[in-house]
Amino acid sequence: MSNLPSEPEFEQAYKELASSLEDSTLFKQHPEYRTALEVAAIPERVIQFRVVWGDDKGKLRVNRGYRVQFNSTLGPYKGGLRFHPTVNLSILKFLGFEQTFKNALTGLNMGGAKGGADFDPKGKSDAEIRRFCCAFMRELSKHIGPATDVPAGDIGVSGREIGFMFGAYRQARTRYDGVLTGKGLSWGGSLIRPEATGYGLVYYVGYMLQHAGRGSIAGKRVAISGSGNVAQYAALKCIELGATVVSLSDSKGSLVAEGDGGFTPKQIRVIAELKLERKALTDFPQCNGHTKAHTNGHTNGLTNGVNGHTNGLTNGVNGHTNGDTDGLTNGVNGHANGDTNGDHEPCGFRWVPGARPWEHVGKVDIALPCATQNEVSGDEARALVAGGVLIVAEGSNMGCTQDAIDVFEAERRKKGDRAVWYAPGKASNCGGVAVSGLEMAQNNQRLTWTADKVDERLKDIMKRAFDDGLYAAGKYVDSEEGELPSLVAGSNIAGFVKVAQAMHDQGEWW
């Protein structure tokens, strides 16, 4: 509409969904769903507020806070909070829109939302972050609740920030509710939650390989972008299952393994500690072409916090646990119980400044964008195809540009069962919000499930998301014999139909 400001990220997300629906037979079979799309494209509620806080010098600071409550047809609003200087309404609308259909694919009763602030945690002290989180939650607490809206973490919001905000909510509302997910294990969190997005992504890729008759992840070369939570756990799970991880990246550039080498679990843990300290990959210790696994006390996955220990469980603020991470610290004031100083390992890594990994990794079997939106361009997609990639699955939200998606989909149609197969983030990275939903269920029961139980439920949810996408693609998308189904179209249709039908049943369109 000409009277509205441009919202490029949201418009891209809307067009990506709408084009999938238009190119299928859905609107021919159900023309009434065009009305549903028109209604579903507008958020139920958009909340914007100022956040006033003081820095360590006593100077007043002010930021913009947001919560886009997009759709509550299937359950309470559910979606993360992002603290990053690039946050604006367009990005949050795009994320909330995607979240609505992603949550539908989990099969759990969750609506879609997204929120955050244009606050940059980098370079801030713990005290400054605590003051900001408390000021942010004083306003947000008026609009959320366990049966209304249950936020979680996202970029810039980890266990520390969740802890500060949970405490602020509890004090403001005098209620002990499961109003946030990603909490510390000792105060309502769930095992496997920190790992869930990365683990779920790898499980989804496993189902893709199995369906396409391409074996298992074992023996595959995997390129990963990003080096945060999702990338770390995706890398660890790939390595555990026998794959070779050849790249990680951050905003400053990419770290790429040369030859047949790849990252080790120990090196992933070193990178996790760097990211916990908000350092760049350029601080990953290197010497004469070899990487020093110099961790200053990080060993054996035993990470002790302050006033508490976890024996391999993630440390939250002051040692509270926040999930089973096999030794990846995810909190504040934790330190390792051991020392590996002087342990050197050859790595053959090269640093590519200012670049994403896709054009520098050579031949890979699997590509997992796990950093942020629009991180694979059309040219980078063509480079991956030229390198023989079999699977591209998004660990980030809208990780591929529309040009990149068009490249992958054209290859899928042209080469049949030998083609690259692309999975959109709303399906392949829904594991994080799925385990958030399981955390909500545990909070309602006042119980904590075992890690094995949560992990099995996660596998089942990822299989269901994969199967639903396959079914919808088979029902509504025309294809040639031997052609791999379009997971982007199938997942978009499956999530949309579930939301649209529920909206109709509840009288939101007719």
Is the alpha carbon torsion for 499, 500, 501, 505 positive or negative? Answer: positive
Catalytic (active-site) positions: 114
Please, where in the chain does CATH 3.40.50.720 lie? 195-286+346-429
Can you give the pLDDT at residue 331?
A: 35
* DSSP three-state, residue 303: strand
- Residue 507 is assigned to a ligand binding site: no
- 333 annotated ligand-binding residue: no
Instruction: Tell me the Ramachandran region of residue 348: left when phi exceeds 0, alpha when psi lies from -120 to 50, beta otherwise.
Output: left
Annotate 101-140 with b (16+ C-beta within 10 A) or e (fewer): bbbbbbbbebbbbbbbbbbebeebeeebbbbbbbbbbbbb
The Cα 497–Cα 469 span in angstroms is 11
> Residue 501: which residues within 8 A CB-CB, separation 6 or more?
none
78 has binding-site annotation:
yes
For the chain of 510 residues, list the mean pLDDT of each consecutive stretch of 10: 83 94 96 97 98 98 98 98 97 96 97 98 95 98 97 93 97 94 96 96 98 96 96 98 97 93 95 89 64 38 37 37 37 36 56 96 97 95 96 95 95 87 96 97 95 98 98 93 93 98 98
State the span(s) of the chain assigned CATH 3.40.50.10860: 44-173
Q: CA dist 249 to 57, 280, 350, 369, 483, Å? A: 34, 9, 12, 10, 33
Pairing between β-strand 290-292 and β-strand 286-287 as defined by DSSP bridges: antiparallel
Bridge partners for 290 per DSSP:
287
- At position 247, the amino acid (one-letter code) is S
Neighbours of 334 (CB within 10 A): 24
Measured CA to CA, the distance from residue 139 to residue 165 in angstroms comes to 11
What are 366's strand-pairing partners? 222, 391
- Report pLDDT for 383: 97
Q: Are 118 and 87 in contact (CB under 8 A)?
A: yes
Q: Which CATH superfamily is domain 195-286+346-429 in?
A: NAD(P)-binding Rossmann-like Domain (3.40.50.720)
The response to whether 99 counts as a known ligand-binding position is yes
Stated pTM of the model: 0.85
48 assigned binding-site residue: no
Q: Who's near 350: CB < 8 A, 6+ residues apart?
A: 255, 256, 258
244 labelled as ligand-binding?
no
- What's the CATH number for 44-173? 3.40.50.10860
